[in-house]
Every structure is written in C-alpha cells, then in structure tokens.
A and B are shown apart, each in its own frame.
Chain A
C-alpha cells in the first residue's frame, strides 16, 4: 500500500514518498476553535505523512455531523465521500471493492455511528471492511445544537435538554462483540497516542475502530462530563504505552528503551506494534480480556485508552471474495462481458 520512492536527493522536509506535509493537508476547518475533531485531523495528517502513505491510495469516508465534515480538512489529494447520516459503512463497503488495494479512512461521530448508524456500524465490523473507522465521540449532537447522543452518560446535564435518563452505548464494547479486528480508544487531548493508534489502525488489513473521546467545546465540555477535556485528563487510564514501528524501521533504538512488560504485535504490512503494559499481563489479542477490561473500566468510571483488541488472523472483506489482482474498476469489456459462445450456452440452460 505504501509506495516507497527513492530517497536520493530528497529534501529534508519530504517523506519517503517524496511528499511534504502540505501534500496531506485539507481545506481549512470550519469546525469550532478548540474542537477535538481538528486535533484528530491533524494527527491523521501527521500519521499519514510519517508513514509515507500515498494520498491516492486512501479513500476518505464520512456520514453526517460535525465529525463527518472533517474529512474535508485533511488529505485533499485523496478521494472522499461524505455520504448520508449513519450510512458511511455501506458506502465504504461498496466503494472499497472498486480497488481492493486501497484503504479507507472513515470519520464518524457518536450520533452517526451509535444512533442512526448502529446497524451499519456493526455490520461493517462483522464483514471486516478494510478501513480505519474513527468515531469522534463527544456525547452530543453539535450541528443540531446540543442534543444528547447515545454515548452520553446517564445523568449528564445539558443546557436545553435537562438530564439524560438513558444508559450510554460503549463504542468499543459494541465493536468488540461485533467481531471488529482492531478496537482502540483514545482521547483527543492525548495526540501522541492518537497518532500511534492511527498508524497501527492503518497498517491493519481489516476494520480498525478508534473510539476517540473528542470533547465538544461548545455544547458538552463541563468539567464533570465524561466527554470533556478536564474529565478525560483526570480519568484517562492508558492500558499501555504504544510505539508503532514502521516496516523497515530506522528507529530500532526506541525498542531498546522499553522496559517492563513488553508485548509485540506484528501487523499485515510488516510493521510492529510494541506495547508496554501499564497493567499487569494485559494481552490485546485476547478477546475475553478485552471485554473484561472494558467492563471493568465502565464499572470504575475509567477512561480506558490504548489498543484494546487486535486480531490479525481474519481475512478482510475483499480477501474473502478472492478477487483478481487488477483493481476491479480497471477491468475492461473483455474481462467483464462473457463471450459470444456463452449466449448459446445460457439459452441452452433455459427450457
């Protein structure tokens, strides 16, 4: 996927693909100042730049909402599809068949994925669509000016809405039980971790769900609210320190610096993820432990962050279909229309 071009004579401010960071930028953001979503867009730009991803190898997807606007704000050189509210997964599912060598980056929100799009969200998991699925999660509907979303915690007070009477949806839990192959959570206020998780997600072949708590500075940033900067900073419980090591890595040193319990996860593209566990014995390849950790965090009111679950053994959707190597959208009439003899054959098959 990542095309590495020769480095000879390349100026210092370009990556291995010969591109500068500007090649990964998008249009100026129209979201609110201080919005967590903008910080995530910036980390996408940095991660893609650092990984030397060719923007033309990426398709951006989104649904409807503040979060779904953000694909306009990164990677102008990539194709993008801003679809319908809650329907990003189906658009991505179909679009990625066009050229199975491409990778999707989808940006959705808690309204888009946990309410109107819950069905499609879960089915994208079970199909293992080859995309990074980011949920910019702020517990509130911003574009319609501050209604509760399905991830808002019970008892949350919002100005016009009063108190939220319902239990919240846990994006990571839903992803995990729907057989997502990567499940991770982070916090927009922790850009380093967001970036490392993005790199891991992008290296994965299959669906990688990143639930990123991304506070809404306008409608839901009260100090005691779960989806706020203050609360996130106080309650964040990282599972581990994460280092993403690119396929042909120059930064082997970092590995040697790691101490304590270290776990390596090999990704599809030859890259490695090194997790330094903060909690004893956490194994992100163990689904049972992952469910346990999420449940425990919920009971203790922790904002559990890090790589919660990873499974690199399941085939991505397009692999299941055993497609020809040439991208389907470059096939011609010769490949697609049966020859003349076939019409007689088919008529003979009728009565």
Chain B
C-alpha cells in the first residue's frame, strides 16, 4: 500500500454537547504544530445537546485547506449518525468507531478500527465517573494519533494551551489520550495509507477564529462602545471584546475607556451604537442576518443623519431563521441597499481571519472619515472556526478621526459652520459632538429632511441636493476602502471574482482547472463595496468573468450588473448555498458548467453566436435563479442610473 502523506481529510461524528470540541481542536492544533497546513470546520446543528454534529479536518501539504466534501478518515462516536458516517468514508479510507456502538459494518473497501473507549476510560482510576464521556473523546484522539502519527508532545502543547496551563485537566486528558494511543499501539494493525509527517509550513503562523480576530482588531482600532445582542454565529465576537478589552486596555487607575452593553434586542443594539457614534465614540455592534433585518430602520437613520458606526454581520444562511448554524454569503445585496428609500452602504469584506483583525481597526477609520455606517461582512466559517493566519500586525496608520470640530476649531472659524455643509467638495461635512462647550457647537440631528445647517425642511430642492451629496459620498468612499486582492496568473484566459471565505476553495479549484482542464484563471478577491478602479480594470481584461459566491441568487453578480452594465454579458454566476464551508468541487464544477472555450479573436467576430449560446447555457445551468435575480437587480439599477 502506498502511503498518503499529509494529504487527507478527517471527519469526526459526535453528539452535540458531548464535549468533543476540546478533542477536535486538539487534533487540529497538534497537526498545525507539526507544521502541516490544516483547517478545521465545525458543522453543528442549532441545538444544545443531543443532535448529530461533525467536525471536519483537512490536512494538505500544498496548503489547499478548504473543506473537502469527502472524508478519507471517519471517526464515529454517535450511534445516531453511525450508518451515515460509515457510508461517507471514501473507498480506501479508514473508519474508527466506539465499539460500544453495536451496528452492522458492511463495508470491506475501507480499514475498520473499533475502539474500546468506554472500557479504557472505565479502567482509568484518574477519571471521575462524571468526566468519562468528556475524557472518552480524548481516547479517540489517542488512537488516531497512534495510527496516523500525530506527535504526542504537540498534543500536550495543544492541551496546555486549551486548558490555559491548568495541570489537572491537562493531565487527565493527556493520560486518557495516552491510554488510547498505547492501546492502539499493541492492538491495532495499520491497514490504511494515511500518514502525517512533520513539515515547516506553519512556522510563524497563529491559529485564531475570525470573531476573536475582529474583536482584537476593534480593540486596536480603539473601540469605545459596543452594543450587541446574542445571536449565532456572532455572539463570540462581542464576548471576545469582553474577554480582551480588560487585558489590552487595562489602566493603572483601574478605570475604563470603553463600555460594552448587552442590549435588549438588535434594534436597541444598533440604536445604542449609533447614539455613541454620534456622540463621538468609536462604536460598533455585531450581529447576523436576523439581527441585521431588525437593524434596518436604524441603518437608514445612520446613513441619512451621517453617523459613523461599525456593524459586523457574521453571516449565516437565511431567509428567516434559516439554518442558523450554517454559513453563507447571503446578506450582500440586503446590506448593500439596506434601509428604505435610496441608500447604499459602505461594505468591507474580510477574506480570512487576518483581515477580520485588520478590518476591525480599519472600519472605524473609514466610518469616522466618511461619517456613515460601515458594514463588515464575515461569515460563520470565518467567524467561528479556527483558521491558520499570519500573526496580527500593529495598525500601520494612526487613527483617522475624520472631520470633527472642537471648541478651538469653532473659535477659529468664528462658529461659521453647517453640519451638512460640503465645505471641501468631497461630500463629507464637518461635525461637532456633544460635550463641545462652544455656544455655536450644537445642532439638531434628525432622520427627517434637513438643510445644510441641520434645520428641519421639506424643501424639494434642498432634499435633492442633500441626496445627491450622499450619492457623491459613495464615490469619495472609493479612496478609503481596501482595494481588492489580485492573485495574478500569467497567461490566464478567464477571470474569477469572489469575496470572503471562499478563497481557499477557489485556489484549489484554480489549480485543478489548470492541471486537469487546461484552464488558466486569475482571481480578484473583492474586499469592499463600493468597487474601486482595480475592479473595472480586471473585468475589462477578460471575456469571461466567473462570479463565485455562497448564495442562491448570485448577489454579488446582481451588484456587478448594476455597476457594470456594459460588461453584463461577461459575467457567469457560480453559486452554491448548502450552508457548508466552501469546497473546491463546487467552484470547479460551477465554472466548468459555464465555461466557453472561445478564443478572444473568435469572440469579437462571433459575438452574436456567443450570446445565443450563453443564454442556452444559463438556462440549463441555473434555472432557479434567473427570475428572482431579475426583479431585485432591475429595481436598484433604475434607482442608481438616475444618479449617475
């Protein structure tokens, strides 16, 4: 049997609430410490205890660590999902199971390893009886470690980290794991090809989840106020603020420079954050789709009254409650046009855990500079799973607090200012904040019609002028938002546009497309809306631009259609929305389904033919999306084209 080294996937099937996350994180971290590129994804139900849950680990020496939709190694700990788990093992794979599960094993094409977990734990005098189930999870870690070669010392390091150096739980878990490994060494004969061998590819990297990274980034951005309401998968972001603020913003006098308030609902969460942003604080909230729906009216107020605030949306799959513990990129169009009336949002799109950190601090600079809400859209995969990341780096620019007038500024200009007066011609007015004691500092903020001096008015001309200025502000925004990341590829014939957590899956799909299908592609990963000039240039380069995203209707595509009607025929939608983290398979198959092997010369000559063919392909490949897509996009296109 040929060895397969550092290139396989592992899935652990357990019951939700059985305490397996310590065990699974330990496997992940140990492999990471061995220097092998790795990812771990928790695929869990909306449930506290009892329902089946899976954890998938991808090990790949070449760094392709997107979720793999197949499982080479399966560890079955849950009788309820046992049959399904057994069936899911790839031919030639390995199946580990707790031997107290008495269910038929029919497969002969895979290696089968029963594990006497209960008896091992029972015989360990150091494990109290109420800890047996929890610690039992460590036994499978030990057995697996022995069979595929996880270094026990890296496991100890992982456990030491997990239990924050507390010796008692470290020892208890390590001993159980050691017992599993010892048992496997004497009783199991290796019958599968999978093997781990140390590398140096994770050196200098850290492991973190995006919600923690976002919170830490926000703290380095000087966050002063956060209003939030619990919701999966965003809760851990605000909780991380509560964890890290006391550490990172500790003062000698013990006083606080910040406040984190758990609100009564998402309306109040954003309301408080807007109040704080208005009164001059670096202010934020964090939520997910249903919360964002509730925040809509407030988002419109912040847009129209020009209040800086940062809103994190850790996306989960909707509509409505949807699949609350599954990932998605389904809030993009909603966020882009959030609020009634004409509005468009500044959106940041982090693509990995590092960018969650980076946009954590950057978002405040942008919000305060532009005096507008900034939405940061991550997702459950990025937010809640542990990712490899380069270490967080200190912000390279000082804080940008934007255009604020204090007492001495007002004195200098003799109080001659108007809250919504576009003095600099960049559509960004100056603002004062409460607490300014200058008698001419105050103004009255409102969501109703207002003139340049913030006075109430229903005058049509003034209304239009103000709205045009707000549209102009979106153009100004282009110079402050992060540019897209271009992954250059010499000789590429097609372009791919994507955003967020799909990048790893796309990298892998690109490699496969090149090696197996001879298609060279170049990827542009967007990091913000509004689009900057790099996006124009990229689209212009290619005849075919695949727009890859995790939703049903091709939401990014809708926005691209709106912004680039002249390029509309170039775009090809590749969407997927099963709620699981992106995998290379769907990206590759999605591209292949719509790929047209037409050279650029032919294309210009036979443009009519190309068009006809395209319609045929579209109708075949994506019958569900077309009608719905039309409606929403057309409405917004009409509104926008008027402004231009």
A positions within 8 Å CB-CB of B: 27, 54-56, 59-60, 71-72, 76-84, 87, 89-99, 101-102, 119-120, 123, 127, 318, 321-325, 327-331, 333, 335-338, 340, 342-343, 345-347, 349-351
Within the assembled complex, what's the spacing in Å between the Cα atoms of A84 and B307? 14
Within 8 A of A (CB), among B395-435: 395, 398-399, 432-435
Chain B neighbourhood of A27, CB < 8 A: 455
Q: Which 8 A-B pairs have the closest CB atoms?
A: A98-B279, A90-B271, A94-B275, A336-B222, A329-B280, A99-B435, A94-B272, A95-B275
CB of B474 within 8 A of chain A?
no
Other than the known A119-B265, A333-B222, A346-B392, what 17 A-B pairs have Cβ atoms closer than 8 Å? A78-B442, A81-B446, A82-B444, A83-B271, A87-B267, A90-B269, A93-B261, A93-B275, A94-B283, A97-B225, A97-B279, A97-B281, A98-B280, A99-B434, A330-B435, A346-B244, A349-B247
Within 8 A of A (CB), among B175-221: 206-208, 212, 216, 219-221
Chain B neighbourhood of A84, CB < 8 A: 271, 297-298, 301, 447
Is the Cβ of B255 less than 8 Å from the Cβ of A337? no
Is the Cβ of B435 less than 8 Å from the Cβ of A82? no
Interface centre among B272, B386, B432 (most CB of A within 10 A): B272
Is the Cβ of A322 less than 8 Å from the Cβ of B434? no
Within the assembled complex, what's the spacing in Å between the Cα atoms of A119 and B448? 23
Is the Cβ of A323 less than 8 Å from the Cβ of B391? no
Q: List 20 A-B contacts (CB under 8 A).
A: A56-B442, A79-B432, A82-B446, A83-B447, A89-B268, A92-B275, A102-B434, A102-B435, A120-B268, A323-B257, A324-B253, A328-B280, A329-B281, A336-B249, A336-B282, A337-B221, A338-B248, A350-B208, A350-B392, A351-B206
Within the assembled complex, what's the spacing in Å between the Cα atoms of A56 and B442? 8
Is the Cβ of B445 less than 8 Å from the Cβ of A94? no
Chain B neighbourhood of A324, CB < 8 A: 251, 253, 255-257
Is the Cβ of B437 less than 8 Å from the Cβ of A80? no
Within the assembled complex, what's the spacing in Å between the Cα atoms of A322 and B248? 17
Is the Cβ of A351 less than 8 Å from the Cβ of B219? no
Chain B neighbourhood of A337, CB < 8 A: 220-222, 395, 399
Q: Which one, B259, B268, B443, B447, contacts A97 given CB within 8 A?
A: B259
Q: Given A98-B280, A323-B256, A76 and B442 touching (CB < 8 A)?
A: yes
CB of B274 within 8 A of chain A?
yes
What number of residue pairs across chains A and B have CB atoms under 8 A from each other?
220
CB of B227 within 8 A of chain A?
yes
Measured CB to CB, the closest approach of chain A to B24, in angstroms, equals: 14
Measured CB to CB, the closest approach of chain B to A146, in angstroms, equals: 21
Q: Which one, B247, B248, B259, B443, contacts A321 given CB within 8 A?
A: B259
Within the assembled complex, what's the spacing in Å between the Cα atoms of A330 and B32? 44
Is the Cβ of A340 less than 8 Å from the Cβ of B394? yes
Is the Cβ of B298 less than 8 Å from the Cβ of A87? yes
Q: Which one, A60, A83, A330, A347, contacts B301 given CB within 8 A?
A: A83
Is the Cβ of A350 less than 8 Å from the Cβ of B206? yes
Is the Cβ of B433 less than 8 Å from the Cβ of A98? yes
Is the Cβ of A321 less than 8 Å from the Cβ of B264? no
Is the Cβ of A343 less than 8 Å from the Cβ of B393? yes
Is the Cβ of A91 less than 8 Å from the Cβ of B275? yes
Is the Cβ of A98 less than 8 Å from the Cβ of B281? yes
Q: Which one, B219, B270, B389, B435, contacts A329 given CB within 8 A?
A: B435
Chain A neighbourhood of B270, CB < 8 A: 90
Within the assembled complex, what's the spacing in Å between the Cα atoms of A345 and B283? 24
CB of B29 within 8 A of chain A?
yes
Within the assembled complex, what's the spacing in Å between the Cα atoms of A60 and B446? 12
CB of B117 within 8 A of chain A?
no
Interface centre among A102, A333, A337, A340 (most CB of B within 10 A): A337
Within the assembled complex, what's the spacing in Å between the Cα atoms of A77 and B440? 7
Nearest A residue (CB) for B227: A94
Is the Cβ of B393 less than 8 Å from the Cβ of A323? no
Chain B neighbourhood of A331, CB < 8 A: 224, 257
Within the assembled complex, what's the spacing in Å between the Cα atoms of A247 and B364? 42
Within 8 A of A (CB), among B458-507: none
Is the Cβ of B298 less than 8 Å from the Cβ of A351? no
Is the Cβ of B456 less than 8 Å from the Cβ of A72? yes
Q: Given A84-B298, A342-B248, A343-B392, A91 and B257 touching (CB < 8 A)?
A: no
Is the Cβ of A347 less than 8 Å from the Cβ of B391? yes
Is the Cβ of A94 less than 8 Å from the Cβ of B225? yes
Measured CB to CB, the closest approach of chain B to A141, in angstroms, equals: 17
Interface centre among A99, A330, A342 (most CB of B within 10 A): A342
CB of B317 within 8 A of chain A?
no
Nearest A residue (CB) for B258: A328
Chain B neighbourhood of A123, CB < 8 A: 263-264, 268
Chain A neighbourhood of B442, CB < 8 A: 55-56, 76-80
Is the Cβ of A328 less than 8 Å from the Cβ of B216? no
Chain A neighbourhood of B161, CB < 8 A: 351
Chain B neighbourhood of A321, CB < 8 A: 256, 259
Within the assembled complex, what's the spacing in Å between the Cα atoms of A184 and B259? 30
Within the assembled complex, what's the spacing in Å between the Cα atoms of A89 and B265? 13
Measured CB to CB, the closest approach of chain A to B624, in angstroms, equals: 37
Chain A neighbourhood of B280, CB < 8 A: 98-99, 328-329
Q: Which one, B393, B434, B447, B448, contacts A79 given CB within 8 A?
A: B434
Q: Which one, A82, A90, A325, A329, contacts B255 given CB within 8 A?
A: A325
Chain B neighbourhood of A323, CB < 8 A: 255-257, 259
Is the Cβ of B279 less than 8 Å from the Cβ of A94? yes
Within the assembled complex, what's the spacing in Å between the Cα atoms of A345 and B265? 34
CB of B34 within 8 A of chain A?
no
Chain A neighbourhood of B267, CB < 8 A: 87, 90, 120
Is the Cβ of B446 less than 8 Å from the Cβ of A120? no
CB of B104 within 8 A of chain A?
no
Measured CB to CB, the closest approach of chain A to B119, in angstroms, equals: 32
Within the assembled complex, what's the spacing in Å between the Cα atoms of A82 and B278? 12
Is the Cβ of B441 less than 8 Å from the Cβ of A56? yes
Chain A neighbourhood of B445, CB < 8 A: 79-82
Within the assembled complex, what's the spacing in Å between the Cα atoms of A327 and B407? 15
CB of B273 within 8 A of chain A?
yes
Chain B neighbourhood of A318, CB < 8 A: 259
Interface centre among B271, B274, B433, B456 (most CB of A within 10 A): B271
Within the assembled complex, what's the spacing in Å between the Cα atoms of A323 and B261? 14
CB of B254 within 8 A of chain A?
yes
Within the assembled complex, what's the spacing in Å between the Cα atoms of A335 and B253? 13
Within the assembled complex, what's the spacing in Å between the Cα atoms of A72 and B216? 40
Within the assembled complex, what's the spacing in Å between the Cα atoms of A93 and B391? 36
CB of B341 within 8 A of chain A?
no
Within the assembled complex, what's the spacing in Å between the Cα atoms of A342 and B273? 26
CB of B235 within 8 A of chain A?
no
Within the assembled complex, what's the spacing in Å between the Cα atoms of A76 and B440? 10
Chain B neighbourhood of A119, CB < 8 A: 264-265, 268
Interface centre among A94, A119, A340 (most CB of B within 10 A): A94
CB of B158 within 8 A of chain A?
yes
Interface centre among A318, A321, A338 (most CB of B within 10 A): A338
Is the Cβ of A91 less than 8 Å from the Cβ of B274? yes
Is the Cβ of B439 less than 8 Å from the Cβ of A56? yes
Interface centre among A78, A81, A99, A119 (most CB of B within 10 A): A81
CB of B625 within 8 A of chain A?
no
Measured CB to CB, the closest approach of chain B to A229, in angstroms, equals: 28
Q: Which one, B257, B394, B438, contacts A328 given CB within 8 A?
A: B257
